[in-house]
């Protein structure tokens, strides 16, 4: 079995693959100060609940946008699984041609999403990752990764509004019943929700205009609930990054 780990700014996704089947998934908060032993103990609890043994895990692959945690998880994998993970980064074979000015600047999370979307849905494809940041990644009809767009996620914007104003409260982000809010909380919810819906729709429209063709659009990420309000988004796949990690592991696996 393969353990896939996607380390994000806010949360860490873990998945166990038995061949090509995603057998179990877990999510935990990203804590830079946690030790390898703490993450290892959590992993053992997750595996135990699924009645899975560490001895069955024969490989690990990970991507991370939090550099300090790479070494922590490498240590965890060595101590608790007896293996070193494949870390997605510069020089890793991905099967997708990266056509940007400096490929080393590209976040590995965006690479694994692009690999999975290209494999699952063909091309051209646009991936909208609705997480801590909102990213748009574009794979052309030739199968080239062209680049994308990065913006602040809805939670970041909401926290900034709370932090930088004296009288506006922190609110739960939900879909309002109407655009016109009749109190401060509903007005903020409306501004956040419908504002981000408009932002995403507009970016997708401009991307397709530049591509000059209709594209398949797939959404992923912790805020993917926004996707149901966006007609351009045809598919929501919460496990896109884990699938991309599986595919990249297979491409880079050295056979004994």
pLDDT in tens, 32-46: 999 999 999 999 999
Q: For 2, how many CA atoms within 13 A lie in the half-sphere containing its CB?
A: 22
Peptide bond into 174 cis (omega under 30): no
Predicted confidence band of residue 254 (pLDDT cuts 50, 70, 90):
low
109 given a catalytic annotation? yes
In sequence order, the 6+-apart residues with CB closer than 8 A to the CB of 4 are 14, 15, 16, 17, 60, 61, 62, 242, 245, 246, 249
Domains and CATH numbers, the chain: 2-87 (3.30.420.40), 97-240 (3.30.420.40)
In sequence order, the 6+-apart residues with CB closer than 8 A to the CB of 179 are 190, 194
Is the pLDDT confidence value at 255 over 70? no
pLDDT single digits (tens) 69-107:
999 999 999 999 999 999 999 889 999 999 999 999 999
Q: What is the pLDDT of residue 78?
A: 96
- Cα→Cα distances 125→73, 144, 146, 212, 219, Å: 31, 10, 11, 13, 11
- Out of 18, 33, 109, 137, the active site residue is 109
**DSSP letter, residue 59:** E
- Which of the two residues, 173 and 39, has the higher pLDDT score? 39
For residues 163-173, average pLDDT: 87
Total residue count of the chain as it appears in this document: 256
In sequence order, the 6+-apart residues with CB closer than 8 A to the CB of 210 are none
pLDDT single digits (tens) 193-246:
999 999 999 999 999 999 988 899 999 998 888 898 899 999 999 999 999 999
pTM: 0.92
pLDDT single digits (tens) 124-158:
999 999 999 999 999 987 889 999 999 999 989 99
pLDDT single digits (tens) 44-61:
999 999 999 999 999 999
**DSSP letter, residue 4:** E
């Amino acid at each position: 079995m393969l353990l896939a780990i996607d380390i994000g700014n806010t949360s860490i996704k873990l998945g166990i693959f038995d061949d090509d089947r995603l057998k179990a998934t877990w999510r935990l908060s990203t804590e830079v100060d946690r030790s390898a032993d703490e993450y290892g103990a959590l992993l053992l609890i997750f595996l135990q609940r699924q009645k899975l043994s560490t001895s069955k895990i024969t490989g690990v692959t990970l991507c991370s946008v939090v550099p300090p945690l790479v070494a922590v998880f490498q240590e965890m994998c060595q101590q608790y699984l007896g293996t070193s993970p494949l870390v997605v980064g510069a020089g890793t074979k991905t099967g997708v041609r990266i056509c940007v000015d400096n490929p080393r600047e590209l976040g590995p999370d965006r690479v694994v999403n692009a690999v999975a979307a290209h494999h699952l849905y063909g091309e051209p494809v646009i991936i909208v990752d609705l997480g801590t940041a909102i990213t748009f990644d574009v794979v052309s009809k030739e199968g080239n990764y062209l680049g994308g767009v990065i913006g602040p996620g809805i939670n970041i914007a909401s926290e900034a509004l709370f932090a930088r104003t004296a009288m506006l409260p922190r609110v739960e982000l939900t879909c309002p019943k109407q655009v016109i809010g009749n109190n401060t909380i509903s007005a903020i919810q409306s501004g956040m929700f419908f504002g981000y819906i408009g932002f995403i729709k507009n970016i997708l429209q401009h991307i397709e205009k530049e591509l000059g063709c209709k594209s398949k659009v797939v959404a992923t990420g912790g805020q993917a609930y926004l996707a149901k309000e966006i007609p351009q988004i045809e598919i929501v796949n919460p496990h896109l990054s884990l699938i991309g990690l599986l595919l990249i592991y297979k491409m880079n696996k050295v056979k004994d």
